[in-house]
Amino acid sequence: MLSIIKIFAKGNRFLVSTISTLVVSIAMTTGAGAADIAAIYTESCAACHDSGALNAIKKGDSVKWQQLIQQKGMPALISSVKNGMIQMPAGGLCENCSNDDYRKLIEYMSK
């Protein structure tokens, strides 16, 4: 006797629980942290300061950076970036950078 086994394929219904999107809010007021500075550098300043394009002082050329920081002083360098220079666009391609961010970026490049 052949028994026909009927397999009722029941569609398994997985209850997909909706995972609420975790919104990481970036605290703008506290300024950029070390990881952010590296990211901002890569997005904005690296275009010229990584390769030394247009004669920009290279990141990591600490001798030249230290000389410049001593000669002009940090506040002057920050305003150079903000106002732009001969070849450097105003803001150095960073639209949301604060003075403090620029200072950290310059220190980051000078190491």
Residue numbers at the binding site for ligand HEC (CB under 6 A): 44-45, 47-49, 54-56, 68, 72, 76-77, 80-81, 85-89, 92-94, 97, 102, 105-106
In terms of Cα–Cα distance, which of 107, 85, 110, 96 is closest to 40? 96
Closest contact distance (angstroms) between CB of 54 and ligand HEC is: 4
H helices of the chain, in order, are 34-40, 46-49, 62-72, 74-83, 99-109
Nearest CB to ligand HEC, comparing residues 32 and 92? 92
Closest contact distance (angstroms) between CB of 86 and ligand HEC is: 4
Structure tokens given for 30? 């506290």
Residue that is written with structure tokens 């275009």 in the block: 47
Closest contact distance (angstroms) between CB of 67 and ligand HEC is: 10
